Amino acid sequence: MMLSPDQIKQFETDGYLVVPDVIPTDILTRVRDEYAQVLDQLYDGWFAAGRVSIPPSELDFWGKLLTGYNAGCDYFQPLDISLPGDRISADTPFHIGPAVFDMLTAAPLLDVVEQLIGPELTSNPIQHVRLKPPSTALAEDEIRAHITATDWHQDRAVALEDADSTDMVTVWIAMNDATVQNGCLQVQPQSANQQMLPHCARTQTGIADGFLEPENALPLPVKAGGAVLFHPLTPHASLTNVTDRFRWSFDIRFNVTGQSTGRKHFPEFIARSRANPANELRDWRACKAQWEEARARLSKTPHIDIHRWSSDAPYCA
């Protein structure tokens, strides 16, 4: 997939780009099928344990998600494609399967990223699934950015300091159509001299008050299979899902191989190398094994913070 000179210029100038049809249809279908199988197993377990009362046969994928959420069952971490930022145990769940791996390494996706940061690409471990229920279904105390609306932030600011000079691109992949109504992303284009803005550790890690003008935000709707790409300093957030349906996306990143990922305690892998193709990881099982090794290792060590911001900073008072 080739970007036009105007698209590349827009990314370099404004710090974002919307690209349709980045993920092939067959991969989208396989990811959906793979997630349906994982959720079926989760829901069967919840039903067997008496945590949910509606029989699995009476619900589709979305119904199982919502029923589980309403019952206080955690669907997010078992369906996420990375380990959490809080304490990790030896049995903390995550999901890496063949379809997810094929999505992370889809040739059209890597083609687009290569045109922005070069031909030596590492899959960055800062990656998540986002399955967001309707806002009316959210618990009053729900604060998880992967479940509710995401506060304004810059992606460089939610990585650790060792990645402050890393050449990186965030790719936000729509699994179903992302609209203004169901909570698509919104952006403030980069300024000519864009810097990292102060962030505060609040309900989520977000840009401190007074450093943005949210009324100037631009919504970025995108069809299923399309992607929104961000420079790591571009301020962005999500809108609230005011529909009666879930919004589903993946949030992944790539950086130039050899540069810091900002999560050095989590596994990375070479997704593309024009110089040394043999170095590319091509087996989903090896990717999953890397995460399993990290889980075993981190379950035995003190917790590693993934954010640098303090709630008592002057601009957070």
Q: Can you give the three-state secondary structure of 275-286, one letter per residue?
A: CCHHHCCCCHHH
What are the φ/ψ torsions at residue 14 (nearest 5 degrees)?
A: -95, -15
> What local confidence, expressed as pLDDT, does residue 315 receive?
85
Please spell the DSSP secondary structure of 71-109, one letter per residue: TT---HHHH-SS--SS---TT------HHHHHHHT-HHH
- CATH H-level, domain 9-25+98-302: superfamily: q2cbj1_9rhob like domain (2.60.120.620)
Round to whole Å and give the CA distance between 282 and 102.
9
What are the φ/ψ torsions at residue 149 (nearest 5 degrees)?
A: -60, 145
> What local confidence, expressed as pLDDT, does residue 305 receive?
87
205 within 8 A of 153, measured Cβ to Cβ: yes
> What local confidence, expressed as pLDDT, does residue 173 receive?
98
> What local confidence, expressed as pLDDT, does residue 292 receive?
98
Q: Maximum CA pair distance of the chain?
A: 57
Which portions of the chain are predicted below pLDDT 50?
none
> What local confidence, expressed as pLDDT, does residue 7 receive?
98
Nearest to 168 by CA among 223, 232, 228, 97: 232
Tell me: the pLDDT tens digits for 199-242? 998 778 899 999 998 888 999 999 999 999 999 999 999 999 99
The full set of domain ranges for the chain reads 9-25+98-302
Whole-structure pTM value: 0.96
> What local confidence, expressed as pLDDT, does residue 43 receive?
98
> What local confidence, expressed as pLDDT, does residue 112 receive?
98
Round to whole Å and give the CA distance between 249 and 309.
26
